[in-house]
A and B are shown apart, each in its own frame.
Chain A
């Protein structure tokens, strides 16, 4: 029998705020254990929570970016359970009235080739709610230590409908969310720092069936590739159980990405009763239209929309936009350069950025962050959405959009030749000087050629290469290249190739 997987994801995203969700103490990563604490974080007797408005702003923005309906009131509930990483032994969360309802995440599935656009889909969302993160347990041989630095960090949970059917879709979904959050300045989404975490609910059913099968919750998918591998593994495991004639049980399983195996954590019978109730320490917060309008104005254009616009407005092909749009700073950089370069030059601008600028940037900071991380890519390719560390190199690069625009202009005008332009670019990256100044200084300008002299060189070349002429005449267009070599040689490499091409064609045409 053929089976179809049904997958829903619960994605936790840490919101990038100065302070914690319910107190003024700083939020952060990598500090000495238990230094980002205060009476509220440690749940000392008498401490009370006060909501961080910046966190509410951020989740509303996330909701607006994903097309969610924003609830008129932000209401808080307590989720009660005992665990040492939870200082109050309840988590402040949102139970029956999440701040964001509905909405969807646009994804792109991989195509047959890297330079082709893949299929797009919209994965519907159930809800997004706001809560506080818990502390971190470090288990030793004989004891366990708790670090409460993370406790109380604003956290949002994005819950999808059970609407995905493959690990690839889940993977594309997660990378799209990640790009959206980074774009919106909502989170850095660094999975290694736990800023993005993912649990998956997975079931299978015979192809064509509409009911939902027994659901397994897969936890600890804590790297972007573990999400794909873990879900793949779980789908295969469930099919194997059913094929063997076994029965699936509703349970929570822990995925070990290192070994590629999973084991049961708890069954449905052991599920918690969280005893949710409205938190009496926090007043509901009204979110009015004015508040939403203000945040709507701060919402950036998302990558897929940008990609479509770049194609329509600048006629830039997918092979370039799939690189350009996934980093907001890079996309803005491109657009600034394209505007400065003027009509018809955007693709050339894109080529310089994607091929030369990014190489220069990765060369400059490869030691710090590693080459692989530096090239922003479409999530459909490998999920390598640019992290802010990458854009830092762009922000400090000496090559500004005006440089690129000027260089493209020079090449198009024939003032410099392609090889010379490459040299100019490298020096531009090192010095930040204007391309015209570099060309002048280094003598890289294409020499102004006497047309009579050029015509003479062309005639000489035609006379010296009858074989190429015959081939060209018989329809082999590329044969013209054999004529260009001697002309360029005679011109000592400083002739404008476009002019050479035109002159040769004119002469050949009248022969």
Chain B
């Protein structure tokens, strides 16, 4: 455990808060001070509101003093990716389009975190409209990786992973459409969980690709992930795609659900293009589970090779429609060059969106166009079904799949200029979104140059308890989570 407050876990801090060894105001002040110290170098935040955070912390302390603590998250500073709505706070999606937009309402996850007593802290940088794998696509500048600030933190939720790794928050929320939680978690050495599609409400999450987007936590430990997931999961009548189910006690499941488990190793995920150091670390993780009596099986996900293409058809098609609302009419950037309504659209969108967002809108518009729909969108949906069947077929024999999270460790800012090269960052994560499955990235070592490596565990639908328990078993036996960037 770190002596520094800002590097401690939710579980640990909650105990200290309950024991009155610590106040939320002290904790929040420590996080604010740390943020001021490292932000010039990291730039994980688009904005933060210290007075607001301290007021929330004081309210939390008052609750605890009155014996009315809301639970383990009460008084814990949690940062939100800048695509999740908080009343009265900016909501920019790291886009010039929404540079001055302030949300008049709360996302459902925001409401739930407020109910749990969390101190909502800051708006975290990301790729514009969550489109990217490096956070370099932010209109407000890139975020540095705390392990090496000349390198990217991953993306699109790079601000969320970097802020946590750098001690600028105790936990953060991100959103994952094709790997946007797990990949930055891997690159920053933290835990990142993408829940089953439909477990966490999307109401108040700026939509990128509605059928793939899912909100999830970044935490230092699997236990913390279980705590945050328990707070944000559950049916929401304002999201038609949210699932009606009882939410189990994920934290209790960490110890109640015991192995040995059957783990599948998809052979397609260890093919060419995988960094050898990452391969070696994941092999060690496999060996660990084997040593614990788990049965390890090679499995095949034969449609893996089509994941990327399928994803870029479906995600861009949905995005091209979802981003239609940013037109400069009711809110957001409006060009002063416009002369009439059509002009407002053309100029405002030309000025407000960055190049990657435009690229995806154009691609998505194309694949939905009359005459192309069947060849692209409809076919992609069919392949998506096959990809999901691959996973479900594999799950007949195994409890979870173990894979690398990212084929490469954190790369240099500006290193990958070719958008297609960047798309390859998500090859191990995208299939999970297409299949709607839960998956978690846990730290599983470092490269020789000191960059974090993540392993991905992919679970069966709605079996987050099981997935977290499997991840927890690994984490308990390793100390990767107890290592912090030195700077």
Contacts and interface: CB of A to CB of B under 8 A. Distances in A.
Residue among A46, A48, A50 having the largest count of chain B Cβ atoms under 10 Å: A46
Interface string B66-96: 0000000000000000011100000101000
Nearest to A40: B238
A83 B325 CA distance: 10
Contact of A82 (B211, B239, B240, B324): B324
Contacts of B317: 277
Contacts of B64: none
Nearest to A51: B240
Interface string A17-54: 00000000000000000000001001111111111000
B388 interface: no
Interface in A114-131: none
A282 B207 CA distance: 14
Given A46-B91, A46-B205, A82-B345, A282 B240 contact: yes
Interface string A251-293: 0000000000000000000000101110011110000000000
Interface stretch (B54-62, B186-194, B362-370, B427-435): B362-370
A88 interface: yes
Given A39-B105, A45-B85, 4 more contacts: A44-B331, A45-B93, A45-B206, A80-B324
Nearest to A88: B325
B91 A50 contact: no
Given A82-B327, A89-B324, A46 B365 contact: no
Interface in B315-335: 317-318, 320-321, 324-327, 329-331
A248 interface: no
Contacts of A47: 203-204
Contact of A280 (B91, B104, B107, B210): B210
Nearest to B349: A82
Question: DSSP majority for the A interface?
Answer: loop
Nearest to A272: B370
A144 interface: yes
Contacts of B98: 45
B105 A89 contact: no
A46 to B, nearest CB: 4
Nearest to B211: A280
A44 B329 CA distance: 12
B107 A50 contact: no
Nearest to A45: B206
A205 interface: no
A121 B209 CA distance: 49
Residue among B84, B207, B325, B370 having the largest count of chain A Cβ atoms under 10 Å: B325
Interface in A198-219: none
Contacts of B373: 275-277
A182 to B, nearest CB: 31
Given A82-B324, A275-B368, A280-B211, A43 B206 contact: no
Interface string A76-88: 0010101110011
Contacts of A318: none
Contacts of A78: 321
A48 B240 contact: yes
Interface in B291-346: 317-318, 320-321, 324-327, 329-331, 341-342, 345
Contact of B210 (A45, A83, A276, A281): A281
Nearest to B237: A50
Nearest to A42: B330
7 contacts: A47-B203, A80-B320, A80-B368, A82-B345, A88-B325, A89-B325, A277-B373
Contacts of A275: 320-321, 365, 368-370, 373
B325 A46 contact: no
Given A48-B203, A90-B321, A275-B369, A281 B241 contact: yes
A39 to B, nearest CB: 5
B240 A87 contact: no
Interface string B348-385: 00000000000000000100111001000100000000
B151 to A, nearest CB: 30
Nearest to B210: A280
Contact of B104 (A44, A89, A282): A44
A146 interface: yes
A409 B330 CA distance: 66
Given A44-B105, A87-B325, A280-B318, A49 B368 contact: no
| 5 A-B pairs closest in CB distance | A89-B324, A280-B211, A280-B210, A275-B368, A43-B325
Contact of A283 (B83, B240, B329): B240
Given A87-B330, A277-B377, A46 B207 contact: yes
Nearest to B324: A89
B270 interface: no
B202 interface: yes
Contacts of A88: 324-325
Interface in B156-210: 202-207, 209-210
Contacts of B211: 280
B346 to A, nearest CB: 9
A470 B329 CA distance: 91
A42 B327 CA distance: 12
B111 interface: no
A276 B345 CA distance: 20
B122 to A, nearest CB: 18
A49 B239 CA distance: 7
B198 to A, nearest CB: 10
B70 to A, nearest CB: 24
Residue among B211, B237, B318, B324 having the largest count of chain A Cβ atoms under 10 Å: B324
A321 to B, nearest CB: 46
Contacts of B206: 45-46
Contacts of B203: 46-48
B101 interface: yes
B103 interface: yes
B137 to A, nearest CB: 17
Nearest to B342: A82
A144 B343 CA distance: 14
Contacts of A49: 240
A89 B278 CA distance: 44
A48 B202 contact: yes
Nearest to A76: B240
Interface in B215-262: 237-241
A144 B210 CA distance: 32
A318 B469 CA distance: 79
Nearest to A34: B330
Contacts of B107: 46
Contacts of B325: 43, 45, 87-89
A273 B368 CA distance: 9
A283 B321 CA distance: 17
Nearest to B325: A43
Contact of B329 (A39, A51, A84): A84
Contact of A281 (B84, B204, B240, B327): B240
A90 B324 contact: yes
Contacts of A51: 240
B104 A39 contact: yes
Contacts of A39: 104-105
Contact of B369 (A90, A273, A281): A273
A90 to B, nearest CB: 5
A50 B201 CA distance: 13
Given A47-B203, A78-B321, A84 B105 contact: no
A367 B321 CA distance: 51
Contacts of B84: 46
Contacts of B239: 48, 50
Contacts of B104: 39, 44
A82 B320 CA distance: 12
